[in-house]
Structure 1
Amino acid sequence: MSGKVMSVEEIVGSLRSGMTVGIGGWGSRRKPMALVRALCRSPLEDLTIVSYGGADVGLLCAHGKVRRVIAPFVTLDSIPLEPHFRAARQSGAVEFTEYDEGMFMFGLLAAAHRLPFLPTRAGLGSDVTRVNPGLRTVRSPYPDGEELIAVPALTMDAALVHLNRADHLGNAQYLGPDPYFDDLYAKAAERCYVSCERLVDTADLLKEGPLQSLLISRSMVTGVVETPGGAHFSTCEPDYGRDETFQRAYVAAAADPQAWKAFRERYLSGDETSYQEAVRQAREGA
């Protein structure tokens, strides 16, 4: 199987320090964590991360890879605040551009359609313009003359997304309850890389879901890689749910430098195969 199939190392090796990288998924749901872990192992730095953030943002902050985060939130869902991102913000280690969730979506839409901005009512009446003084408003050119927030396009050098299934050409399918705007990331970025739970033949893509579940077209994709368990410890329904036990251990370790050192040595010092084996052993009580 050839086509656009790449390894995790080849995907990360194609990226460069200083890039703006979009990461799909939502909070602690269907994140391309195998690719994020590879980014953490890489020499890349000074990244701008665009994300409905979760542990993807936190891990990259913990490894010193991030200069700036653009996000509406950085959460683990069942645990409200991502601890490494919170620590990075409190210490001033990373810059943060915060948008309302709806504004963030309009930023992705603008970039996907190659527009400089899109107008929206989202964020009006809130403090978002105070915390982001660079935001501008525009007035409708029509008789109503309504004033709207002009959300700048969230353009990206590369996007990383994780789907349930994909073929060797990059057509990719989600089987869970929500697309999480992954198609907008793919369209908004100059390059898009897809990790998936399983690579299948193109003819088999519709065996598990309807045509509408084919979220990402090969025309949007630069490379694709099979990474079983590659969203862990976030959800990847229906293949698996969020690993709440692991997530609690991750948060507990983040609170203490020595505990984090031990956690990082056990789970993050090797490659993806080593990570998955360490997770398996932890699950089995080894």
Structure 2
Amino acid sequence: MGDKSMPLDDFAATIESGMTVGIGGWGSRRKPMALVRALLRSDVRDLTVVSFGGPDVGLLCAAGKVRRLVYGFVSLDSIALDPHFRAVRERGAVETAEYDEGMLVTGLRAAAQRLSFLPTRAGLGSDVLTMNPGLVTIASPYTGEEYVAMRALPLDVALVHVNRADAAGNAQYLGPDPYFDDLFAMAADRCYVSTERIVSPADLPAGGPAQSLLISRIFVTAVIETPGGAHFTSCEPDHGRDEPFQAHYAAAARDPDAWRLFRRTFLDGGEPDYHKAVAEFHAGRGGPDGEGAGER
């Protein structure tokens, strides 16, 4: 089947400025954060990012990597808005296309099927059409009913994170929801899968039901083993969201001096440096549950 495994350090060099990058996951859940952190350390710029956004969007916007953002929402789940996203949105610092969540899914489905659009009822009667004047409606040739003609959202690259994958690129989620990661993979010319653990093909069906085998190797360009690669977002059942660290991130994002310290502490080094700094953060608080010395 071929070995598609790739070291994390080699990933960012495959991404070019100006690309359209789709990022899987949902809010602050199962985001490919190790891949996002690798992009932060790279020279790429002017990205179009398509996402059900969370800290992936916030971090890339804060680093000046994003030219255009296509999104259904940007949330940290337990914190309503990512502060970095809110700041760039209020300043008008990036171009935006804000869609109903169903519309974003329809756009990904159209791209996955190599269609220029698909009809949907999502968005009808809402200000989404007003805010996106490039969208049009279309009448059904069978009933005359009006639909939104949601244009396809083709991606140059998709980034997703899963619980397990084999070296050939077959990818498995073990948590409660697939979060449309399969659509991101199918809508993209290239798909990079980060995973908590690369396992043998035989271990995939033993680890979960058939429907958990979410992404076929035919859609995958490379597989990157990144234990803790979704941190600080959740990757159930391997780990939950790191709420104390997420709160620290959000607080730092609201203050320029605090953000410079956060970036220097957690983001300027490599992935091992990040996880070491996170462990030190929790040790300083008295542990991951936040009891003890208090947040620094």
Report the Cα distance in structure 1 between the residues aligned to 2:7 and 2:87, rounded to whole angstroms: 32
Report the Cα distance in structure 1 between the residues aligned to 2:248 and 2:184, rounded to whole angstroms: 30
Q: How far is the alpha carbon of 1:207 from its aligned partner?
A: 2.2
Matched, 1:123 2:123: yes
Q: How far is the alpha carbon of 1:149 from its aligned partner?
A: 0.2
Q: Could you tell me which amino acid in structure 2 is paired with residue 21 of structure 1?
A: V
Q: Could you tell me which amino acid in structure 2 is paired with residue 46 of structure 1?
A: D
Unaligned runs of 5+ in 1: none
Q: How far is the alpha carbon of 1:9 from its aligned partner?
A: 2.5
Identity, % of aligned pairs? 66
Cα offsets for 1:56-80 (capped at 9, x unmatched)? 0000000000000000111101101
Query: Which residue number in structure 2 is paired with residue 90 of structure 1?
Result: 90
Report the Cα distance in structure 2 between the residues aligned to 1:10 and 1:186, rounded to whole angstroms: 20
Q: Could you tell me which amino acid in structure 1 is paired with residue 196 of structure 2?
A: E
Correspondence 1:141-180 to 2 at 5 A: 141-142=141-142, 144-180=143-179
Query: Which residue number in structure 2 is paired with residue 62 of structure 1?
Result: 62
Q: How far is the alpha carbon of 1:184 from its aligned partner?
A: 0.4
Query: Which residue number in structure 2 is paired with residue 45 of structure 1?
Result: 45
Q: How far is the alpha carbon of 1:101 from its aligned partner?
A: 0.4
Q: How far is the alpha carbon of 1:278 from its aligned partner?
A: 0.6
Q: Could you tell me which amino acid in structure 2 is paired with residue 159 of structure 1?
A: A
After superposing on structure 2, the runs of 4+ consecutive aligned residues of structure 1 that deviate more than 2 Å are: none
Report the Cα distance in structure 2 between the residues aligned to 1:278 and 1:226, rounded to whole angstroms: 20
Q: Could you tell me which amino acid in structure 1 is paired with residue 24 of structure 2?
A: G
SS at match of 1:154: coil
Cα offsets for 1:134-167 (capped at 9, x unmatched)? 101110001x201110000010000000000001
Query: Which residue number in structure 1 is paired with residue 292 of structure 2?
Result: none
Report the Cα distance in structure 2 between the residues aligned to 1:271 and 1:152, rounded to whole angstroms: 38
Query: Which residue number in structure 2 is paired with residue 110 of structure 1?
Result: 110
Matched, 1:12 2:5: no
Q: Could you tell me which amino acid in structure 2 is paired with residue 6 of structure 1?
A: M
SS at match of 1:72: strand
Q: Could you tell me which amino acid in structure 1 is paired with residue 47 of structure 2?
A: L
Query: Which residue number in structure 2 is paired with residue 243 of structure 1?
Result: 242
Cα offsets for 1:29-66 (capped at 9, x unmatched)? 00000000000110000000000000000000000000
Contact 2:176 2:236 in 1 (8 A): yes
Report the Cα distance in structure 1 between the residues aligned to 2:150 and 2:32, rounded to whole angstroms: 26
Cα offsets for 1:85-116 (capped at 9, x unmatched)? 11111122111100000011000100000010
Report the Cα distance in structure 1 between the residues aligned to 2:104 and 2:66, rounded to whole angstroms: 19
Q: Could you tell me which amino acid in structure 2 is paired with residue 260 of structure 1?
A: W
Report the Cα distance in structure 1 between the residues aligned to 2:45 and 2:82, rounded to whole angstroms: 20
Report the Cα distance in structure 1 between the residues aligned to 2:41 and 2:93, rounded to whole angstroms: 19
Q: Could you tell me which amino acid in structure 2 is paired with residue 135 of structure 1?
A: L
Report the Cα distance in structure 1 between the residues aligned to 2:185 and 2:9, rounded to whole angstroms: 20
Q: Could you tell me which amino acid in structure 1 is paired with residue 8 of structure 2?
A: V
Report the Cα distance in structure 2 between the residues aligned to 1:78 and 1:222, rounded to whole angstroms: 33
Cα RMSD (Å) of the superposition?
A: 1.1
Report the Cα distance in structure 2 between the residues aligned to 1:207 and 1:279, rounded to whole angstroms: 32
Query: Which residue number in structure 1 is paired with residue 288 of structure 2?
Result: none
SS at match of 2:138: strand
Q: How far is the alpha carbon of 1:284 from its aligned partner?
A: 1.7
